């Protein structure tokens, strides 16, 4: 299954066009490598998505062509969700700014 389709079906990203744009901007990694929207996803893959303020890491548990909204979270498990260090900058005085 394509990466952009998986992100949409799993409801990690709400629209497929947005998941495609994020992947094209090199903000998605699959198993530690920058991934394109057409990257093939398989069960066991780890996906890392760089959102504005957070980085989300998930592991693919299941692939389905169609899934109901209330079952979409069964497709993956969250490994880690941490603040995005690129989002925060420190000035000369050591103050952190967003």
Residue 57 domain flag: yes
pTM for the model: 0.83
* Number of independent structural domains in the chain: 1
Residue 91 domain flag: no
Paired residues of 55 in beta bridges:
50, 82
The pLDDT > 90 percentage for the chain reads 74
Residue 96 domain flag: no
pLDDT at 92 over 60: no
pLDDT average, residue stretch 64-88 = 88
Residue 90 domain flag: no
Residue 63 domain flag: yes
Task: State the pLDDT at residue 87.
Answer: 60
DSSP string, 12-79: SSS-HHHHHHHHHTT-EEETTEE--TT-B--TT-EEEEE-SSEEEEEEE----S---GGGGGGGEEEE
Residue 21 domain flag: yes
Q: Which domain, by its residues, includes 68? A: 3-85
Residue 18 domain flag: yes
pLDDT average, residue stretch 6-22 = 93
41 band by pLDDT with thresholds 50, 70 and 90:
very high
Write the CATH number for 39. Answer: 3.10.290.10
């Amino acid at each position: 299954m394509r990466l952009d389709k998986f992100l949409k079906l799993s409801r990690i990203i709400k629209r497929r066009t947005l998941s495609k744009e994020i992947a094209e901007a090199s903000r998605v990694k699959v198993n530690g490598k920058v991934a394109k929207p057409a990257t093939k996803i398989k069960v066991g893959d780890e996906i890392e998505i760089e959102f504005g303020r957070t980085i989300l890491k998930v592991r693919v548990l299941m692939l389905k062509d169609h899934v109901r909204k209330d079952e979409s979270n069964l497709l993956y498990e969250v490994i880690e969700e941490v603040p995005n260090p690129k989002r925060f900058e420190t000035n000369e005085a050591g103050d952190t700014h967003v």
